[in-house]
């Protein structure tokens, strides 16, 4: 269903822009043989072609988020749309009763628009999202279908998930290049710092991090990685076919609210959110003639204090296609 809605949005927007990239992303904790906490995420997104930033450009549906970005010299701009679905579950999904000491079931469906500025040293991105958490997200049906397809255990506690709640989010990220140098095999390495912050009733948080990249043609693809869920910058024209880069990202932050834990429930929960955040990601992006493919391992510290595990993880598989 979310794919159909996304296609309708794209068709409505075609008169004002020419699409140059679509991407599909799948995240799942089966990579680490887990089935609890953040369990699965699916993303379908579209991003416009890169254009030279024009300070005199008027405001339109496609460009309005850019008014929230600081002006940049010698930069390119792009905008895009995305629909995503995420789910969280307790560590034990066979229990048919409420689990007041474990994180609750939660499903989240979100539609998002973003704008971005890219230059060789600074990249900015801003996102505006509207969503729904709860049964209306359709997550229960999706997880049931996936588990049936894989022959896995059937989730038994979705009747106790977070209640339906509309969400609104505004997020901002800025990347700044700190160091870059040549490396063996006609490659480069770089280190950049970034700040990612989000405000809304789904989650509000402040974060800072470092990114290390090694590979070919890093200058043209700076700032395409992101700490924002499901985002990928436009790689079209920035990476040559059969080129690649490796990356590692480290991030720490503080979270003020989390609707997947603090949302309304049909029972009394004893779970308390862990405000301190820490995460790491390491992976590779490979370019081929039609687009890119990326794979990464992601780690994050426990999101509530009663969690018996200090760290959790999931795998990420992402495809982009040039249009």
- SS3 for 214-252, per residue? EECCCHHHCCCCCCCCCCCCCCCCCCCCCCEEEEEEEEE
pLDDT at 160: 96
The pLDDT value recorded for residue 171 is 98
Alpha carbons 265 and 91: distance in angstroms, whole number? 18
Please tell me the total count of domains within the chain: 1
Query: What is residue 56's predicted lDDT score, i.e. its pLDDT?
Result: 61
39 in helix, strand or coil?
Answer: strand
What residues make up the domain containing 49?
A: 2-322
What is the structure's pLDDT at 62? 66
Q: Among 57-71, 117-131, 179-193, 196-210, where is mean pLDDT lowest?
A: 57-71
Q: Is the pLDDT of residue 25 over 90?
A: yes
150 versus 183: the higher-pLDDT residue is: 183
Q: What is residue 72's predicted lDDT score, i.e. its pLDDT?
A: 86
> Could you please report the per-residue DSSP string of 119-178?
-SSEEEEEEEEEEEESGGG-HHHHHHHHHHHHTPPPP--GGGSPPPEEEEEEEEEEEEEE
Instruction: Give the pLDDT band (50/70/90) at residue 238.
Output: confident
Q: What is the dihedral of CA 198, 199, 204, 210, to 10 degrees?
A: 20
Whole-number Å distance between alpha carbons of 22 and 46 = 4
Q: Is the pLDDT of residue 29 over 90?
A: no
DSSP secondary structure of 36-105 = SEEEEEEEEEEEEPPEE--TTPPP-TTTGGGGGSPP-SS-EEEEEEEEEEEEEE-S--S--S--TTSPPP
- Per-residue model confidence (pLDDT) at position 13: 45
Question: Do residues 79 and 65 touch, judged by C-beta distance below 8 A?
Answer: yes
Statement: residue 6 has pLDDT above 90: no
pLDDT at residue 124 above 90?
yes
| Contact by Cβ (8 Å): 110, 87 | no
pLDDT score of 8 more than 90 = no
CB 25, CB 230: distance < 8 Å? yes
pLDDT of 90 higher than 60? yes
Which CATH number is 100's domain given? 2.40.128.140
Rounded Cα distance between 204 and 148, Å, is 35
Mean of the per-residue pLDDT values of the chain: 89
- Residues of the chain with pLDDT > 90, as a percent, come to 69
Give the per-residue pLDDT at 257.
Answer: 98
pLDDT at 44 (0 to 100): 97
Min mean pLDDT across 61-75, 154-168, 180-194, 308-322 is at 61-75
According to DSSP, the residues that pair with 249 across neighbouring strands are: 211, 281
**pLDDT class of 155 with cuts at 50, 70, 90:** confident
From the list 279, 280, 271, the residue with the least C-alpha distance to 90 is 271
| Two structure tokens written together for 240 | 């040559």
CB neighbour list of residue 309: distance below 8 Å, 6 or more residues apart: 91, 302
Q: Which tens digits make up the pLDDT trace of 257-307?
A: 999 999 999 999 999 999 999 999 999 999 999 999 999 999 999 999 999
Alpha-carbon span 14 to 64, nearest angstrom = 16
The reported pTM is 0.90
pLDDT confidence band for 237 (50 / 70 / 90): confident
At residue 148, the pLDDT reads 76
Residues 158, 162: Cα–Cα separation, whole Å? 9
């Amino acid at each position: 269903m979310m794919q159909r809605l996304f296609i309708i949005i794209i068709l409505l927007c075609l008169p004002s822009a020419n699409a140059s990239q679509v991407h599909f992303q799948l995240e799942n904790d089966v990579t680490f043989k887990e089935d609890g906490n953040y369990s699965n995420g699916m993303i379908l997104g579209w991003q416009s072609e890169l254009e030279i930033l024009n300070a005199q450009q008027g405001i339109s549906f496609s460009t309005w988020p850019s008014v929230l970005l600081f002006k940049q010299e010698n930069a390119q701009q792009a905008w895009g749309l995305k629909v995503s679905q995420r789910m969280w579950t307790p560590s034990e999904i066979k229990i048919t009763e409420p689990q007041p000491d474990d994180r609750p079931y939660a499903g989240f469906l979100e539609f998002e628009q973003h704008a971005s500025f890219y230059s060789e040293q600074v990249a900015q991105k801003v996102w505006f999202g509207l969503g729904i958490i709860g049964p209306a997200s359709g997550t229960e049906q999706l997880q049931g279908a996936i588990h049936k397809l894989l022959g896995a255990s059937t989730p038994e506690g979705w009747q106790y998930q977070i209640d339906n709640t509309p969400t609104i989010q505004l997020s901002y990220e800025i990347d700044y290049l700190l160091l870059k140098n040549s490396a063996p095999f006609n490659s480069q390495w770089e280190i950049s710092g970034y700040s990612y912050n989000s405000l809304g009733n789904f989650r509000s948080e402040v974060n800072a991090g470092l990114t290390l990249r090694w590979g070919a043609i890093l200058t043209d693809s700076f700032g395409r990685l992101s700490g924002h869920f499901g985002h990928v910058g436009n790689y079209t024209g920035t990476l040559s076919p059969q080129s690649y880069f490796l990356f590692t990202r480290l991030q720490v932050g503080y979270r003020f609210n989390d609707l997947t834990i603090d949302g309304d429930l049909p029972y009394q929960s004893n779970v308390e959110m862990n405000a301190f955040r820490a995460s790491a990601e390491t992976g590779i992006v490979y370019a081929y003639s039609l687009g890119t493919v990326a794979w990464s391992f992601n780690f994050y510290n426990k999101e509530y204090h009663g969690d018996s595990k200090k760290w959790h993880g999931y795998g990420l598989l992402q495809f982009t296609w040039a249009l």
